[in-house]
Amino acid sequence: MTLPRTPGPIGIFDSGYGGLTILDSIRRCLPQYDYLYLGDNARAPYGPRSYSVVYEFTRQAVHQLFHMGCQLVILACNTASAKALRTIQQQDLPRWDAERRVLGIIRPTAEVIGSLTTSRHVGVLATEGTIKSQSYDMEIQKLHPDIIVTGMACPFWVPLVEYNETASPGADYFVKKYIDQLMQADPLIDAAILGCTHYPLLLNKIRLFMPPAVRIIPQGHYVATSLADYLQRHPDMEQRCSKNGQSLYLTTDDPAKFAEQAQLFMGAGTIVAQHISLA
């Protein structure tokens, strides 16, 4: 099937809801563009799944977004960026359309981390799948070989967000637990990357228990500014992104449930989602 070549929205893909925090940051930075968000909520979470399964699910989603007119797709999912991005870029894009692009969200933070740490000791708080992939370690080491990276999996943080328990006293134990473990593993850490798109919703709790000298680094701002820079450096791609300031939402699960949950991640405004099948 031939892919459409006319200008289309920027695709934003995530296994679930967390990518909405990335979309929110991108849209604040680049409000003129159109966006098409796709959440594979029916098959989330991706974190515990194998590389091959995450790749296949992500490949299906990217291909769907391409068929719906996207010329550029952002994998607003750390697990998909870690386990599927490189294979899609190297194997699938040349077969589908060599002029289209798929970008991840790990590299933008890795690029700027060198300017955000003085001690050269950096922590990464993320899901188990992202930590095990060592994607942040590898990207940071390639760009900043002198930086020591310590990762800490925080398996209970995503459920706290999705069950709207971010402000509850019960969240204190689990937020403090993993921060304490991270700082015990390397007391010299002075910058901590939030390597999961859900974690910005826990920012108030994280600030409460993180040592004051440690800089907390959510991804959204850096992904957004990196995308703005990318579009400026690639005017050919910029011309292929439509500009009506509109956002559409797709989910593989129940649209009503998606719209309700999305309010936790996007704040004010009514979100209307449509159901889509990927398998």
Q: What is the pLDDT of residue 48?
A: 84
Q: What pLDDT score does 264 carry?
A: 83
Specify the pairing of strand 35-39 against strand 247-251: parallel
Catalytic residue among 29, 70, 154, 196: 196
Torsional class of 144: left (φ above 0), alpha (ψ -120 to 50), beta (otherwise): beta
How far apart (Å, rounded) are the C-alpha atoms in residues 153 and 160? 14
- Model pLDDT, residue 176: 97
Residue 21: pLDDT band (50, 70, 90) is very high
70 is known as an active-site residue: no
List pLDDT tens digits, range 256-267: 999 988 988 887
- The mean predicted confidence, pLDDT, of the chain is 95
Integer Cα distance of 197 and 223 in angstroms: 11
Q: Is the pLDDT of residue 59 over 90?
A: yes
Mean pLDDT over 226-241 rounds to: 97
- 218 within 8 A of 125, measured Cβ to Cβ: no
pTM for the model: 0.94
Q: What is the pLDDT of residues 152-194, one digit of tens each?
A: 999 999 999 989 999 998 899 999 999 999 999 999 999 999 9
Q: Which pLDDT belongs to residue 234?
A: 97
To the query of whether residue 196 is one of the catalytic residues in this protein, the response is yes
String of DSSP letters for the chain: -PPP-S-BPEEEEESSSTHHHHHHHHHHH-TTS-EEEEE-GGG---TTS-HHHHHHHHHHHHHHHHHTT-SEEEE--HHHHHHTHHHIIIIIHHHH-TT-EEE-SSHHHHHHGGGT-SSSEEEEEE-HHHHHHTHHHHHHHHH-TT-EEEEEE-TTHHHHHHTT-TTSTHHHHHHHHHHHHHHHH-TT--EEEE-STTGGGGHHHHHHHS-TTSEEE-SHHHHHHHHHHHHHH-HHHHHTB--S--EEEEESS-HHHHHHHHHHHH-SS---EEE----
Q: What pLDDT sits at residue 268?
A: 60
pLDDT for res 2:
67
Mean pLDDT of 224-250: 97
Q: Which of 107, 195, 101, 190 is nearest to 143 (CA)?
A: 107
Q: Give the pLDDT mean for 135-148.
A: 97
8 Å CB contact between 98 and 92: no
pLDDT of 1 > 60? The answer is no
Q: What percent of the chain has pLDDT over 70?
A: 99
pLDDT tens for residues 84-131?
Answer: 999 999 999 999 999 999 999 999 999 999 999 999 999 999 998 899
Q: Which of 70, 77, 154, 241 is catalytic?
A: 77
pLDDT, tens digit (0-9, with 9 covering 90-100), for 185-220: 999 999 999 999 999 999 999 999 999 999 999 999
pLDDT number for residue 5 = 77
